[in-house]
C-alpha cells in the first residue's frame, strides 16, 4: 500500500484547486474547500480501524526502503490528532463562510495550507520532512495573521514572522546537527543510532529543536508573538491557530522526546518548569486583559502549560492526561474563539468593556460560551474535566506541589472566564441594542462543538481509552520495529 | 526606458529563456534543476518588468494566468511525485538509456514542472512588489 | 536597572555562544561522514536506481521527492501570502 498519504494529498489538491475554481466566480470556493475537508476527514477516519488492529501503519514514500526514503507513520496518536484537527478546521471553515467577505481565494487556500502543514508534521516519520511541513504551516499562518491589513494586524504578523522564523531556523539548525553526527534523518533510524553515540552535539541539537517547538507552541518565555497574533487575526483563523497550530509544537516535543530520543530527566524537568511557569503566568496575565480575544489567547498559553507539565511528568497517567488535554483544549478553544468571533462580528469591537452595550444576549452564543468556559475550568460533565482530572492525579503521584499549582491555575481560569462572561453577556442591560440575524453557518459549528464537549464529558471512558492508545503509540521499540522492517 | 535598452532586452529575453530551459531539461544530467532554472527564467521576466513598464508586461502575462499555471503545475507535480513516481519508476527507467537526455525516470518531468512553480512564484511576487 | 538587564542579557548570549561553540567542536570534521548513514547508499545506488546522473537531482526529486513537493508548496504559500497582503485585488477575476 502506498496510498496512506491520501488525507494530506487531498488537502494539497484542494489547495491547488481553489485558485482554479475561482477562475470565473468565487461562488464555488466554499464548496470545494468543504468537499476537500470532508474527503480528508473521511479518509483519516477510515484509517482508524487499520491503525488500531495493526498498531502502526507505515508507508514508504515513493517505495524507497525506510532510512533512504521518507516514511510516513500512522499510529493512534497521529491519526486521532489528525481527525480532531481536520474537524476543527472544517468547523472553522463553515464559520468563515459568512465571516469572510473578500479575498476568499487567498483565505481558503491559506487555511487549507495550514491544515496541510499540520497533517504533514503529525504524520511524518522523518525530521527534515517535519521541518518542511512546519515551514508550510508557519508561512501560511504569518499571511493569515495579516489578513485584515490593519496596522495592528500587520504589526502582529511581522512580530510573528520574525519570532516564528527564528523558531524554524533553530529547528533547522538542530536537524542539521543531527544529520551531521548520525548521517540519517529517519526518526526510527535516529532512535536506533542515538543510543550508541555519546556526542554532545546531539544534546545541543535536541535543545535547539525543542526551543523552536516551544516558540511554536507559545509557552511562556517565548510567548511574545502569541497574544498579538491571536488578537489581530480573523476569528476563525484564531480558532484554527489555537486549536491546531500551537498543538503541533507540543506534538513534535512529545514525539521527539519520548519516541526518538530518550526522556532523560533534564528534558522532563525543563518541560515541567516551563509548563508550570506558563500555566500560572498565562492565567495571571489573562486576568488583567481587556480584550476578549487577548484574554482567550493568554488562556491558551495557560492550557498549553498544563499539557507541558503533564507531559513532563513522564508517567503513563501524565502522558495520557497531556495528550487528552491537547485534544480537549483544541475543541474547547475552537468553540470559545468562534464565540468570540461571533461577538466581535456583531459588536465590531474587541474590548470587553465596550462590547457590553453593543451586543444583545443571544442564547446560542451565551450558552456555548459558558459551557466552553466551564469545560476549560474543568467542571465535571464536560470534557475538560476528564483531562484535568488525569493531570491532577498524575501530578499528585509525582509531586503534590505541581498539583497545587495546577489547581491554582484552574481557579484563576474560573476567575478570568467568569469575568469575561460577566463583562460580555451580563452587564449589557441596555435595551435597543441592535441585533443582527445570526446566519445558520455561524451557529452550526458552535452547536456541534458543544455537543462534542458534553458527549466526551458524559462518557469519559471513551476518551480515556483513546488517550491510553495514543500514549502506547509513543513506545520506542515498537516504533523502530514497525518502521525499520 | 531608452530605446537601446529596450531593443537589447527584447533580443536578450529569448536567450535567457533558452538558458533556463536548458538548465531545467538537463537537470538530471548536469548541475542545475528546477530551482536554478526557475530563478534564471524569472530574472528574464524581472528584466522585462524593469525595462518595459509593469502594466504592459502584466497585460501580456496576467496574474490570473500565472496563478492558474501555478495551480495546474502544482497538481501535476503532486500526481507525479506521489503516485506516478512510485508506481512506474522501474518501468520508465528500463525504457531509458542512462546518461542521455531521455533518462532519469520521471525526474525530467518533475524538473520542468517544478521550474514552472518557481517561475510563477517569483514573477507573481515581483508583480506585486513592483506595482505597490 | 535597565543597564543591569542589558549586561545580564549580554552575559547570557555570550554563555550560549560558548556552549554552541563547544558543542560544534564535536561535529565530525568537514568531508567526513558516517559510513552507516544514508549518504553512501545515495552515492552508490543513485544512478542505477533512479537513472539520473546528477546525484543532487536524484536525491531531490526521487529519494526525497515528498520533501521537494513540500518546498514547492512553501513557494505556493509564500506567493498566495504576498498576493493576500500586498495586492488590492487579483485582476481578471470579479470581486
Q: Which of A68, A149, A182 sits opposite C34 (nearest CB)?
A: A182
C84 and C57 in a common domain: no
Distance CA B3, CA A469 (A): 72
Q: Is the pLDDT of residue C93 over 80?
A: no
CA distance A95 to chain C (A): 20
- Minimum CA–CA partner of C70 in chain A: A132
Question: How near does any CA of chain C get to the CA of A485, in Å?
Answer: 16
pLDDT lower than 70: segments of chain A: 1-4, 357-360, 428-436
- pLDDT value at residue A404: 93
My answer on whether C54 and C73 are in the same domain is no
Q: Do A62 and B64 touch (CB under 8 A)?
A: no
* Predicted confidence (pLDDT) per residue in A130-142, tens digit: 999 999 999 999 9
Residues C86 and C43 in one domain: no
Q: Which structural domain, as residue segments, surrounds residue B98?
A: 3-131
Q: How confident is the model at residue C71 (pLDDT cuts 50, 70, 90)?
A: very high
Which residue from C19, C26, C67 is facing A199, i.e. has the nearest CB? Answer: C26
Let me know whether C13 and C59 are in one domain.
yes
Among A4-13, A173-182, B108-117, C12-21, the range scoring the smallest mean pLDDT is A4-13
Instruction: List, in order, residues 6 or more apart from B77 with CB less than 8 Å away.
Output: B110, B113, B114, B117, C69, C72
Cβ(A391)–Cβ(A322) below 8 Å: yes
| CB within 8 Å of A110: residues ≥ 6 apart | A140, A143, A144, C77, C80, C81, C84
Cα B11 from Cα A356, distance rounded (Å): 67
pLDDT digits (tens, 9 = 90+) for C28-69: 888 777 777 888 888 888 888 888 888 888 888 888 889 999
Decide: A362 and A436 in contact? Cβ < 8 Å: no
3-class SS shares of chain C: helix, strand, coil, % to 5: 70, 0, 30
Beta-carbon separation of C54 and B31 below 8 A:
yes
Which residue has cell 483519516? A44
A21 Cβ under 8 Å from any chain B Cβ: no
pLDDT-based confidence at C95, cuts 50/70/90?
very low
Q: Domain range spanning residue A373?
A: 3-483
pLDDT at residue B116 is higher than 50: yes
Domain tally for chain C? Answer: 2
User: First and final CA of chain A: distance in angstroms?
Assistant: 15
pLDDT for the residue numbered A33: 93
Q: Could you tell me if residue A314 is left (phi over 0), alpha (psi between -120 and 50 degrees) or otherwise beta?
A: left
pLDDT at A286: 92
Q: Are residues C71 and C59 in the same domain?
A: no
pLDDT computed for residue C89 by the predictor? 63
Distance CA A119, CA A281 (A): 30
Which strand (E) or helix (H) includes residue A215?
helix A200-217
Q: How far is CA A205 from the centre of its chain?
A: 24
**Domain co-membership, C40 together with C78:** no
Give the distance from residue A221's alpha carbon to the nearest chain C alpha carbon, in angstroms.
14
> Is C27–A177 a contact, with Cβ atoms under 8 angstroms apart?
yes
A72: β partners: A59, A124
pLDDT grade, residue C90 (50/70/90)? low
What DSSP string runs through A272-329?
Answer: HHHHHHHHHHHHHHHHT--BHHHHHHHHHHHHHHHHHHHHHH-SHHHHHHHHHHHHHH
Number of domains in chain B: 1
Q: Residue A72: enclosing H or E segment and its boundaries? A: strand A71-74
Residues B27-55 have a mean pLDDT of 89
Domain match, C51 and C8 both: yes
Domain that holds residue C14: 2-63
CA–CA separation, A59 and A73 (whole Å): 6
Domain count for chain A: 1
The C-alpha of A63 sits at a distance from chain B's nearest C-alpha, in angstroms, of 6
d(CA A293, CA A412): 17
* pLDDT at residue C94, as a whole number: 36
For chain B, the average pLDDT equals 88
Cβ contacts of B64 on chain A, cutoff 8 Å:
23
The Cα–Cα gap between A291 and A350 comes to 5
Give contacts of A19 with chain B, Cβ < 8 Å: 67-68, 70-71
Contacts with A26 from chain C: Cβ below 8 Å: 93-95
pTM, full prediction: 0.93
Amino acid at each position: 500500500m502506498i496510498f496512506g498519504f491520501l488525507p494530506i494529498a487531498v488537502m494539497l489538491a484542494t489547495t491547488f484547486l481553489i485558485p482554479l475554481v475561482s477562475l470565473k466566480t468565487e461562488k464555488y470556493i466554499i464548496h470545494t474547500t468543504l468537499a476537500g475537508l470532508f474527503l480528508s476527514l473521511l479518509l483519516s477516519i477510515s484509517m482508524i480501524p487499520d491503525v488500531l488492529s495493526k498498531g502502526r501503519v507505515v508507508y514508504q514514500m515513493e517505495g524507497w526502503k525506510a532510512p533512504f526514503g521518507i516514511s510516513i507513520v500512522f499510529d493512534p496518536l497521529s491519526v486521532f490528532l489528525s481527525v480532531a484537527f481536520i474537524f476543527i478546521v472544517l468547523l472553522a471553515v463553515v464559520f468563515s463562510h459568512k465571516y469572510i467577505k473578500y479575498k476568499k481565494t487567498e483565505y481558503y487556500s491559506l487555511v487549507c495550507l495550514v491544515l496541510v502543514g499540520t497533517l504533514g508534521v503529525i504524520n511524518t516519520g522523518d525530521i527534515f520532512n517535519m521541518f518542511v511541513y512546519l515551514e508550510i504551516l508557519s508561512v501560511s499562518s504569518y499571511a493569515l495573521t495579516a489578513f485584515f491589513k490593519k496596522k495592528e494586524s500587520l504589526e502582529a504578523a511581522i512580530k510573528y514572522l520574525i519570532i516564528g522564523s527564528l523558531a524554524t531556523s533553530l529547528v533547522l539548525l538542530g536537524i542539521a546537527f543531527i544529520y551531521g553526527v548520525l548521517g540519517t534523518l529517519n526518526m526510527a533510524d535516529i532512535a536506533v543510532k542515538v543510543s550508541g553515540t555519546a556526542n554532545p552535539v546531539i544534546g545541543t541539537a535536541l535543545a535547539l529543536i525543542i526551543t523552536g517547538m516551544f516558540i511554536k507552541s507559545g509557552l511562556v518565555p517565548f510567548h511574545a508573538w502569541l497574544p498579538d497574533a491571536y488578537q489581530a487575526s480573523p476569528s476563525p483563523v484564531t480558532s484554527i491557530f489555537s486549536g491546531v497550530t500551537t498543538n503541533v509544537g507540543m506534538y513534535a516535543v512529545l514525539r521527539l522526546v519520548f519516541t526518538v530520543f530518550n526522556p532523560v530527566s533534564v528534558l522532563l524537568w525543563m518541560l515541567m518548569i516551563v509548563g508550570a511557569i506558563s500555566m500560572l503566568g498565562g492565567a495571571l496575565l489573562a486576568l488583567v486583559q481587556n480584550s476578549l480575544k487577548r484574554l482567550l489567547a493568554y488562556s491558551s498559553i495557560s492550557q498549553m502549560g498544563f499539557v507541558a507539565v503533564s507531559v513532563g511528568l513522564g508517567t503513563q497517567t501524565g502522558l495520557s492526561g497531556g495528550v487528552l488535554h491537547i485534544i480537549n483544549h483544541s475543541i474547547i478553544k475552537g468553540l470559545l474563539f468562534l464565540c468570540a468571533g461571533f461577538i466581535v462580528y456583531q459588536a465590531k469591537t474587541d474590548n470587553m468593556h465596550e462590547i457590553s452595550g453593543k451586543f444583545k444576549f443571544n442564547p446560542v452564543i451565551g450558552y456555548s460560551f459558558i459551557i466552553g468556559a466551564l469545560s476549560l475550568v474543568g467542571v465535571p460533565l464536560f470534557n475538560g474535566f476528564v483531562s484535568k482530572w488525569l493531570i491532577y492525579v498524575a501530578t499528585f503521584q509525582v509531586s503534590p506541589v505541581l498539583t497545587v499549582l495546577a489547581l491554582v491555575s484552574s481557579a484563576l481560569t474560573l476567575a478570568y472566564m467568569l469575568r469575561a462572561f460577566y463583562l460580555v453577556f451580563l452587564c449589557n442591560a441596555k435595551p435597543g441594542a441592535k441585533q443582527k440575524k445570526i446566519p445558520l453557518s455561524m451557529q452550526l459549528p458552535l452547536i456541534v462543538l458543544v455537543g462534542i464537549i458534553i458527549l466526551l464529558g458524559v462518557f469519559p471512558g471513551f476518551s480515556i481509552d483513546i488517550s491510553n492508545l495514543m500514549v502506547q503509540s509513543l513506545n520506542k521499540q515498537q516504533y523502530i520495529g514497525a518502521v525499520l522492517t | 526606458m531608452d530605446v537601446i535598452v529596450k531593443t537589447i532586452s527584447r533580443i536578450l529575453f529569448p536567450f535567457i529563456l533558452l538558458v533556463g530551459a536548458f538548465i531545467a531539461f538537463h537537470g538530471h544530467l548536469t548541475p542545475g534543476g528546477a530551482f536554478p532554472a526557475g530563478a534564471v527564467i524569472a530574472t528574464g521576466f524581472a528584466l522585462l518588468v524593469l525595462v518595459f513598464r509593469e502594466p504592459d508586461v502584466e497585460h501580456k502575462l496576467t496574474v490570473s494566468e500565472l496563478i492558474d499555471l501555478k495551480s495546474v503545475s502544482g497538481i501535476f507535480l503532486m500526481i507525479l511525485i506521489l503516485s506516478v513516481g512510485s508506481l512506474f519508476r522501474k518501468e520508465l527507467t528500463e525504457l531509458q538509456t542512462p546518461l542521455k537526455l531521455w533518462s532519469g525516470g520521471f525526474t525530467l518531468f518533475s524538473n520542468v514542472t517544478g521550474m514552472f512553480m518557481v517561475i510563477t512564484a517569483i514573477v507573481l511576487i515581483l508583480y506585486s512588489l513592483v506595482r505597490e | 536597572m535597565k543597564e543591569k538587564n542589558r549586561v545580564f542579557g549580554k552575559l547570557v548570549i555570550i554563555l550560549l555562544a560558548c556552549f554552541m561553540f563547544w558543542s560544534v567542536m564535536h561535529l565530525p570534521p568537514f568531508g567526513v561522514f558516517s559510513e552507516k548513514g544514508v549518504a553512501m547508499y545515495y552515492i552508490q545506488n543513485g544512478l542505477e536506481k533512479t537513472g539520473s546522473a546528477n546525484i543532487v537531482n536524484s536525491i531531490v526529486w526521487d529519494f526525497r521527492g515528498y520533501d521537494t513537493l513540500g518546498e514547492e508548496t512553501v513557494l505556493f504559500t509564500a506567493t498566495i501570502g504576498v498576493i493576500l497582503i500586498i495586492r488590492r485585488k487579483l485582476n481578471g477575476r470579479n470581486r
